[in-house]
A and B are shown apart, each in its own frame.
Chain A
């Protein structure tokens, strides 16, 4: 049986990129991944995209393929629409398309220019429009306010403190300070986070990821068996308890626990086997929930875990070594692709600037879309 592998990765810069377009960023990221894999445009027969909040094409991947000039050579194309989980699900579909023989070279691309392509008001309205149009939206429930509901419930149930939540943002900044590509690199303290203004209580500005321009891409093809740079999906899990956060009285619990269990079972691994974890840090609270539900600490202990150095760079569990959504950047739905490209670099052992986790053999990537609504856990290893 064919085993698929990620053979190439590529990224554009991230942050504020005036003069770019959403599809132009797709092209730049794709070119970079093809160069990395040594694959020519003419060999691409699959394209999976993650949509765009700026370009609302109904068939996004087809428009992207047309723009790239490869549409007529594709045997499979799809647009994944799972918010922040889109790129992880796109990677799974790419693997399946190669392993069942439908495609030889599948490009997975996620990119958008929401920072410069939309006003702040339009961007906030875009995210708010994802709320239930009748039972959430008219209340004025925003994206950060929805995560704030998780955070406040977490604090009420487990005694999680503001400084414990803030610690996750401090750790992301610490990693970002070692990544020249990251948007925000000046180190911050817990006091800095707690001095930043409230967005939606208890979440403050430095606990909420920014809106960025940028994108990434991966080239998936059959594992060669000889290329030490190949990275494979060893196990995956999807699980969800709700789509709209107001449909659950069980918050802050999410589908992450079951997604993680399924991925670990398929890969025959446990949390203690993970060398580096990429968690979807859209907000500080998301990191605590995922640390707990993925089994890196007990349920309710996420705050104490991070406060006692559990994710301290260099000594604790290495998470989001690129700086995460909070400090590296967050270009909308495609944002999770940078978790995947950094995971691949970690497994190749090629991360620069003192961020390489020694002998990283197993990486976990958790992606979530909505308000921790769609949960996808991937376990990655060398090909």
Chain B
């Protein structure tokens, strides 16, 4: 769905998706208020400044804000049991991510870089070896 060259060329979100594909978090950082924001867009939603840059913060772990396992979803496009979570990657940046198993709110998770995957990042529990 988001694997096309058109998406990677999108002026607002292309650099973010290209970062995911390359295995790094490339996130908008506001030059005026100093906060990251997500999703990428033309202006900072915290202070409405148009003056922002792409930052590449080193993020080793995120935190599950909340999660669910979907039993009745969008068959046949998704697996029968689908583990999804809202994950706080860094202050002010929450993303929808895939999990490999059901993890509760508060769990520490680490990103798994396995390609663009429709622009949805994947995570695994952070306590495993």
Residues of A at the B interface (CB closer than 8 Å) are: 124-125, 128, 132, 134-142, 144-145, 148-150, 152-153, 156-157, 197-202, 245-249, 251
Contacts and interface: CB of A to CB of B under 8 A. Distances in A.
A138 B2 contact: yes
Interface string B55-96: 000000000011111111110011000101010100000111
A198 B86 CA distance: 20
A197 B68 CA distance: 14
Given A134-B13, A138-B1, A201-B102, A145 B95 contact: no
A247 to B, nearest CB: 7
A153 B65 contact: yes
A192 B43 CA distance: 49
B66 A149 contact: yes
Interface residues of B, number: 33
B34 interface: no
Contacts of A201: 68-71, 102
A134 B117 CA distance: 12
A149 B73 contact: no
A145 B70 contact: yes
A209 to B, nearest CB: 14
A201 B73 CA distance: 12
Contacts of B86: 149, 245-246, 249, 251
24 contacts: A124-B73, A124-B74, A125-B74, A134-B39, A135-B39, A135-B119, A139-B84, A139-B97, A139-B98, A142-B74, A148-B68, A148-B70, A149-B67, A152-B66, A152-B105, A153-B66, A156-B66, A156-B105, A198-B72, A199-B70, A200-B69, A201-B71, A247-B39, A251-B66
Contacts of B88: 249
Contacts, number: 103
A142 B70 contact: yes
B105 A140 contact: no
Contacts of B11: none
B94 A246 contact: yes
B2 A134 contact: yes
Among the interface residues A134, A141, A150, A200, which one has the most CB atoms of the partner chain B within 10 A?
A134
Interface of B: 1-2, 7, 13, 39, 65-74, 77-78, 82, 84, 86, 88, 94-98, 102, 104-106, 118-120
A43 B72 CA distance: 48
Given A150-B66, A152-B67, A247-B94, A138 B120 contact: yes
Nearest to B94: A249
Given A128-B74, A134-B2, A145 B94 contact: no
Contacts of A157: 105
Contacts of A128: 74
A251 B85 CA distance: 13
Contacts of B120: 135, 138-139
B2 A140 contact: no
Contact of B73 (A132, A138, A140): A140
Given A128-B74, A197-B72, 17 more contacts: A125-B74, A134-B13, A134-B119, A138-B118, A138-B119, A139-B97, A140-B70, A145-B70, A149-B67, A152-B68, A200-B70, A200-B71, A200-B73, A201-B102, A245-B86, A246-B96, A251-B66
Given A139-B96, A150-B66, A156-B66, A199 B72 contact: yes
A156 B118 CA distance: 30
Contacts of A144: 70, 72
A139 B84 CA distance: 8
Contact of A145 (B1, B84, B118): B84
Nearest to A154: B66
B116 to A, nearest CB: 10
A371 to B, nearest CB: 11
A226 to B, nearest CB: 51
Contacts of B105: 152-153, 156-157
A140 B84 contact: yes
A151 B88 CA distance: 18
Contacts of B71: 197-201
